[in-house]
Structure 1
């Protein structure tokens, strides 16, 4: 007999006995993605370790306007601020301390492969239909890790847009794939740090404007050449393998967005 069925049977039997008082039965917390990652302690400013790094991956999309959350394993002010924004977005106590309530929400959002609920590796690995994470400037392992961080940023952007679907039309591209589709030679798609998006129930401009608050240092949208039908977002500031790692470039003129960010 399964544990849940046995528990119900015991309670039912006890209820049938006269004079037996039944204490309130507290349900076990819902199952979560143990196959991915489980936090063992509260995290707050001053703490460090791999558990902080794992948290930083998941709150990277709550960095705030023109900012990023470094994936360095150190719980500093930027990480605390991102956690606060995450907590506020999901109706939690916004104290910047990652504890049981914050983890429960993260568990509810993540799948066993650590991807967020609404995005998948398959979506981010366009690859011109070839699959796999090799063929770019970085190792397949690093490229896939970049794509995971990108997905968590997209999850935050999706939340900001009212949990309205975002269709990813292009993610990682190998060098051959990038050349085939006519991508720039230094495209962020080569690193797993970029995605082209088409919102289903909101406008392109809404997506481009909101992306400014979610850790994306590269945004191209309506008004930028060849971007009238999608929004491109990337994390070039975090990509230390190219020459644009410390720059922020936003251009969607038809949405009132220029390189100044306004």
Structure 2
């Protein structure tokens, strides 16, 4: 049954399937909050940036409820049924973070609070969610929404962990928003994006400016391993 050449051909075929299979189908949605209860003149006390696959699609002045959509996707997002609910949730997050800044032990210190909520749908459809919190630009506390665990990444996050770790209402809120709400929003955004690709990609207009990450490994990323492996196998079987 088949000689070395047949075995070599079969192994190379397996390698091609392995390396050229669809990868990178993971997508992510994140909202980055900055809360400054004592802003300098001309600065906002509450700002939010929305990212899909690390591309900014909106900038939100959450103190004055002013939204600037920075991509065609953002313009489409505001037409979804869940958009108003999403804005309400972002306001709830804003209020939670603002109240938290007022509870800082040394209230005389300059304080800017950052928070980043992220949900990610992996290529195997597994959903993960997380939060990061920081003070004055230093991210110092991580919350894993899947298991409810808090992790201090910098000493500045220790008092935040002590404040929130035993607050069941806060923990449940963070888990729900990043694992359930965020997941539904991301799915809506991806549906919109696929529709935009179908309707906007033409020889004259081209695709929308916002583009998700590549959904497959480019040929140059897998050809070299396959060729090298072929030479190695040939050396053993030759």
Judge same fold: TM > 0.5, yes or no: no
Larger radius of gyration between Structure 1 and Structure 2: 2
Q: Which has the higher contact order (CA 8 A, sep 6+)?
A: 2
Structure with greater proportional strand content: 2
TM-score when normalising by structure 1: 0.24
Structure with greater proportional helix content: 2
